[in-house]
Amino acid sequence: MRTISSAAQAVLDSDNVKVAFLMELQFNSTYRFTSYHSDLTYDGNTYLADGGMFEFDPPSFSSTVDRESYRIVIADQADAMAAEFRLNVIGKPISVKVALLGTDDRPMLGTADVLSIYNGFVDSPSLSNDFEQKLAIIEGTSPMADLDLVRSFITSKAGMDQYSSVDTSFDEIFDNKFTTVRWGKV
């Protein structure tokens, strides 16, 4: 069960909930961005305000099992994300958290105050360049993305050897071998 501080609960119970997003991309290098107007330090890590965080999906709650993905758009004027995409980022971790802003409009950065809204992996990165702005679009996997997964299993001796070289259960699968099996009482 998730526990939050009483100060964070008071903000959530109020009519004036403001948040700052904290995003971590663990690619070949680790990138940490925030939507807040200045850099933030949370859990010993610095999240950059000028990191290019352009657009991101808000947290969404669903009462049904769906396969919606999470989308992040980063302004990539320095080509850092383009270089990462060329090195393959598919399957790399993404983490997005929300820091609640207190009554003084400062982020509450205690570990019991920050809420995790997305943890997943990169599914399909892409670049968009329209000569006015260069954007890196990162789509994260849905927790239910594996519902579409199809894995074939080859029923041959060589097929089993891919999993275990000592398993002999498929050794005679294509041989013409007859076995009599008695059913019932013997």
pLDDT tens digits, residue range 126-143?
Answer: 999 888 889 999 998 866
Length of the chain: 186
Distance between start and end Cα atoms, the chain: 55
pTM over 0.75: no
Query: Tell me, what's the pLDDT at 16?
Result: 84
pLDDT above 60: residue 145: no
Considering only residues 181 and 67, tell me which one the structure prediction assigns the higher pLDDT: 181
The per-residue pLDDT for 155 is 72
pLDDT at 46 over 70: yes
Instruction: List pLDDT tens digits, range 69-94.
Output: 788 899 888 889 999 999 999 989 99
CA–CA gap between residue 19 and residue 115 (Å, rounded): 10
Band of residue 148 on the pLDDT scale cut at 50, 70, 90: low
pLDDT band for position 62 (50/70/90)?
low
Residue 15: strand pairing partners? none
Q: Tell me, what DSSP letter sits at residue 145?
A: G
Residue 158 backbone zone (phi > 0: left; psi -120 to 50: alpha; other: beta): alpha
Distance (Å, rounded) from C-alpha 20 to C-alpha 108? 9
pLDDT category of residue 7 using cuts at 50, 70 and 90: confident
* pLDDT above 90: residue 41: yes
The answer to whether 33 and 95 have CB atoms below 8 angstroms apart is no
Burial tier of 71 (Cβ tally within 10 Å: 0-12, 13-18, 19+): middle
What's phi and psi for 145, nearest 5 deg? -60, -30
